Amino acid sequence: EFVYFYKRSNPYNVPSNILVYPKLRFEGGGQFNMPEADILVKSNLWIMSGGANVIMNSGSAGDITVYGNLQLGQGETNNYGKLTFPGTGNPRKVDVKGDIILVGNASPLITVASPGNTGLEHTLIAQNNIKHSAGNIYLYHATSARVALKIGGTNSASYSRVNGNISLHRIIMDKGTNADSTFTFNNSVTLSHPSNLPIKPITFMNGCLVLNHPDIDINLSSGGGNAEIVATSALEIQQGKARLSGSGVGLILSGRLGLSNTGQFLANGASNNYIQYTNSNKSVLSISDSGLLEVAESIKGATTFTNANIRYYQTGGNVKVGTLGSSLNSPTFEIRNNNSRFRFLGGSIYILRKGENNVAFLADSCNADVDPVWASMYFGDGASTPVSTIFAVNSAIPFPNLLLQGNNAFTVKQESKPMVVLGDFTIGSGKTFQTNALDFSLHGDLTNNGTFTASPNKSVFLQGITQVLTGTLNFQNLTIQSDAQVELNSLLATAIGVNGNLNILSGSLIDNGREISIKGSIINNGTHASPVAEAGGLLLNGSGLQTIEGTGSLGRLKINNTSGLALASDHQVNNSIIFQNGSINLGSRLLTLDANSALVAEGSPFSASKMIYTDGTMNALGVKKGFPANVFDFSFPVGTVGKFAPVRFHVVQNNEAGYISVVPVNSELSAAVGAGSLNPKVLNYYWNIGSEGFNNLLSNVYLYYNQVDVRSGHVEAEYMPARLMPDGNWQKILDVSLVDETANVISFLNVPSLAAEYTAGYGLPDKVALFTSRQDGSWNDVNTWESNDLPQPLSEIPYGSIVIIREEDEVTISSDNRNAYRTEIYGRLNLGATSQHVLGKVSGTGTLAIESGSLPAGRYDEFFACGGGTIEFGGTSTNYTIPSRVEKVNRIRFTGSGQRILPSYTLQVCELLEISGQAILNNFENNILIKLSGDLVMESGASFMDGVGNASIEMLGTSLQSISGPFIGNSGINKLIINNAAGVELLSDIEINSSLVFTKGLLNTTSTAMLQLNYGASYSGEDNNRYVNGPMRKKGFSSSGFVFPIGKNGIYAPAGLSNLQNQSNLTVFSAEYFDFGHPNATDVNEPLERVSSLEYWDISRLATSASGRVKLHWKDAQNSMITDPTALRVAHFNGSSWEDNGYLGSYENGNIGWVMSEDVSSFSPFTFGATT
């Protein structure tokens, strides 16, 4: 079974005529001289017993190949062996395909004869494990030849040592054909080959070399060229160190460098050591556990490759870049190109010095994933960063936690891309952060112990869950998009200033008693709160007019701006408003004050330059304030432009909480001088006062008027208090003493019910005349009306009257300046293009038709409310903008021809939005959001001109909604949001140009009413309960393809196309899922054994000759009866039978997965097939 040579003391020449051995064993204390011939051992080679010494031949041949193990020594006493490479002659090779074993209680040895030729290099190839239990391995000799250890084979292996020593010359890592197979050094090892020569101590060719002992310390290069890890190799340091030193020396990284456990890679022996990745697409840096990477200069992409890219993975440990200095030809840390990957889920990155053009961190847009809890990036550390360093950051990927720290002062600034920090941001003492004319986004806490410098016209976005602001912070524009809250630190000194605008788009801002000064305007769709009594709040102290808009609420306000504050939308304030300087201009908007709100004038008292004023029309909503279930004395410091006309309520009896609203109107009350009146004299001013709640109320009401509103010819001394009650009757108090013409005060005493319109005068009628339509006709025609309140036959038309238009009647206004105190529309009121009307309080379920952008003066709360009437904007060949007061309506119709331009406010529609005739609905100019709870209809001939960006239609009803009409081509929808659990159905084809967003519910389609996503359009939010329930089309593809978010009858089953060829922006595919088997599920071609009888997809190419790969998804393996994804195939029905479209992989994660075909050019039905 083996050939056995035995010699105790004398040299023995191994025969040269035997070249192949089944097994080979050397024993005894003698010397065995190998022949000048290559030897093959087909199994194991033993060298043992008493120090048997096998001497390699130095001639032209003499290599040894061992298919089994090479073992030196055995377990008995004095049982050891030696393998000696020659010191001179020709290079020799020993190739061991099994294990290399050194064992025994003596000294087995692998060494080199000495002295010899130091320029001679032999090779020991270890294709499996090296088990070093005893003795020594000396592959380096200072005065003789050296032996390179080549790690070969394909399987993973390791070096482990119990006793003995090892001294290596150099390592050639060549295991397998890629970086999958590993070789691990589990014990200390030294490499003596000089690291400053072109050939380095470790040559990486294939496989992964793992260093796993704390005493390992290897210098990969100290000069004479760079170290390199090629694309098919890797270096993993689990324990120990690898180094770079020498000026200009770097690591060329085409493969993987991994640091785990406590492994370290120290590229910091000289100030310009670096790591440079290439275009191999396999460059990987991986740091985990307590790994440490230190780089003196930079981590960068090779400038010789424009497509250099890296996969950077860090879940722990520390990375320090720029530890000694940085060159002027690259950033300090660079993630280049969009096919790079940056996954930073734990540990720390320290950037200590700047790079080219001050750029310290550069990252292109790529696949990035950072963890704001466990990962942190630092600029500066101790005294490492030079004083006055400017770090420029140019990153398209987000940061986790970001800290500016260290002993010395320095600056970090954004370069050309806005930064996003997902964790906390801390600016240390002496450090400066500059936004540098860019936006900045933060999701965590912001602590500033240094300097935060914002840029004009740019914003800081706070977008986290709970964020705390600490320190002195001056923002230009501050935008809060938090889903929870942003708080000012209540324990540490904190001062916030906003030189531009404050935008609270969602969530809440809690000031905790800290004042926030604002120079610009406020958009608030969230909540601002001031929980500390009489402290904190928003200080509006700009120099120009400041505005507040949005749907949210505010806490404490302080106004110190002589140019004033204007409401651009209804708003609520829950704490006090302090007036230092300036007024609040409500326009037609509503200001709601909480029961705890106070209105305080600091310095000078309220006046015409310090008040709350409206636009003076009856459209205005005024001020509404809550009050407790108690008595109170409160003054509303209200007025109109240039007129201070406050109202005081002294409530002497009340046992229920309630609200009071006050609207000052800068005109006479038309109902006082309307049809049926007999030349009354009335103040040219009145107050519309509303009331909610309260019980058993008794109040004195004092109204302060301006002398200029007493009209010429009136006898002011004859003025008496009068108020028009909601039922249309006048309540006149016949006491002239209650109008103080000296103090200009009108007094109403012991008023039990506050809701009315208040004024003063004499000669007023007893009631407002009621006109009811009796037929179709003109407003100006007395025959159109009937009234029991006026002498018959009628000689007057409605003016300042109560008007009712019956359901069966259509009334037309053909002249300007028509006036009604109250208008109830149950039929149709046509205004045409006339203007300057007053309709008073408008209600009913009929139609108000307008042919201009002017909405008559009036209160439309009831008419526009859900369940109310219809507003119609028509006209022929006219373009106009819809009035801004049309924000929330029941039904809205756009008719006639010409453009109807939507205003710059969100439009909310309860029941119907209809475009008919040849009208063009224009959302292109202002790109607004349309919130629709009912149906969307466009008739043939009409058009929809949607915008871009935020232009959206949100379907948010509670019952099934529909979309009908040709929303295709130039009438396509920019963004459609499905937010209805009951679903949305298409009644005709629609096209989407930008995005489809699923929030709740299905989008139901059919073959005659199909969805098409156009080129560049995307979708989001899809899941098992949110998808396209029916067929859809996609027009325009990139080579990466598209996944159709389709399903049917409760089954979400997307299907995709990838690796497309010959595709373009004109390529069109349709896809539909069927939740039942194809009619022919039995005719299959080999190698298919069967196809699914439960489901199939119809994927059809409708335009161009594109080809690609088909990917079929399942979201419920049990429902699809999938048990072994690896046996799946994509099956295609060719018209008569099912054929295998190949298999390029599958994926399964729990109950979901997919299978992908090879490239296909024929389409139509597809389903799951199986080869078993």
What is the structure's pLDDT at 171? 98
| Lowest mean pLDDT segment, chosen from 70-74, 354-358, 604-608, 1090-1094 | 354-358
Residue 1148 has pLDDT above 80, yes or no: no
pLDDT tens for each residue of 219-247: 999 999 999 999 999 999 999 999 999 99
Band (pLDDT 50/70/90 cuts) for residue 367 is confident
What is the structure's pLDDT at 777? 97
Band (pLDDT 50/70/90 cuts) for residue 1151 is confident
d(CA 665, CA 671): 13
What is the structure's pLDDT at 76? 59
The average pLDDT across 672-695 equals 90
| Lowest mean pLDDT segment, chosen from 186-195, 196-205, 770-779, 1134-1143 | 1134-1143
What is the structure's pLDDT at 749? 97
d(CA 746, CA 736): 10
What is the structure's pLDDT at 1? 57
Residue 658 has pLDDT above 90, yes or no: yes
pLDDT, averaged across the chain: 93
Alpha carbon separation from 524 to 441, 564, 713, 926 (Å, rounded): 18, 18, 48, 19
d(CA 399, CA 260): 22
d(CA 1080, CA 1092): 10
The average pLDDT across 154-173 equals 95
The average pLDDT across 1019-1024 equals 94
Residue 482 has pLDDT above 90, yes or no: no
**Tokens 């300097």 identify what position?**
451
What is the structure's pLDDT at 328? 64
User: Cβ(1016)–Cβ(1037) under 8 Å?
Assistant: no
pLDDT tens for each residue of 963-1013: 999 999 999 999 999 999 999 999 999 999 999 999 999 999 999 999 999
d(CA 313, CA 283): 11
All CATH 2.60.220 domain ranges in the chain, comma separated: 627-762, 1022-1172
What is the structure's pLDDT at 327? 64
The average pLDDT across 582-596 equals 96
| Lowest mean pLDDT segment, chosen from 36-40, 1064-1068, 1163-1167 | 1064-1068
pLDDT tens for each residue of 505-543: 999 999 999 999 999 999 999 999 999 988 999 999 999
pLDDT tens for each residue of 312-325: 999 999 999 999 87
Residue 1039 has pLDDT above 80, yes or no: no
Residue 7 has pLDDT above 60, yes or no: yes
d(CA 515, CA 535): 7
Q: What is the 3-state secondary structure (H, E, C) of 449-461?
A: CCEEECCCCCEEE
d(CA 978, CA 1005): 13
Q: Which residues pair with 1001 in a beta bridge?
A: none
Residue 9 has pLDDT above 70, yes or no: no
What single-letter amino acid sits at 339? Answer: N
Q: Which residues contact 961 (CB under 8 A, 6 or more apart)?
A: 932, 933, 934, 935, 936, 955, 980, 982, 983, 984, 985
Alpha carbon separation from 802 to 539, 753, 770, 1001, 1108 (Å, rounded): 45, 22, 5, 45, 71
Residue 77 has pLDDT above 60, yes or no: no
Q: Tell me the CATH class for 1022-1172.
A: mainly beta
pLDDT tens for each residue of 411-421: 999 999 999 99
Q: How many CB atoms lie within 10 A of CB 1134?
A: 12
User: Cβ(773)–Cβ(829) under 8 Å?
Assistant: no
Map residue 1015 onto helix, strand or coil.
coil
The average pLDDT across 853-861 equals 92
Alpha carbon separation from 523 to 104, 567, 854, 1140 (Å, rounded): 82, 10, 26, 59
Band (pLDDT 50/70/90 cuts) for residue 104 is confident
d(CA 371, CA 915): 48
The average pLDDT across 48-67 equals 92
Q: Which helix (H) or strand (E) holds 1119?
A: helix 1117-1120
pLDDT tens for each residue of 1097-1132: 999 998 778 899 999 999 888 888 888 877 889 999
**Which CATH number describes the domain made up of 627-762?**
2.60.220
d(CA 760, CA 747): 10
Q: Which residues contact 372 (CB under 8 A, 6 or more apart)?
A: 400, 401, 421, 422, 423, 424, 443, 444
What is the structure's pLDDT at 1117? 84
d(CA 384, CA 1124): 56
What is the structure's pLDDT at 78? 63
What is the structure's pLDDT at 881? 96
pLDDT tens for each residue of 286-336: 999 999 999 999 999 998 888 899 999 999 999 999 998 766 678 899 998
What is the structure's pLDDT at 679? 80
pLDDT tens for each residue of 717-756: 999 999 999 999 999 999 999 999 999 999 999 999 999 9
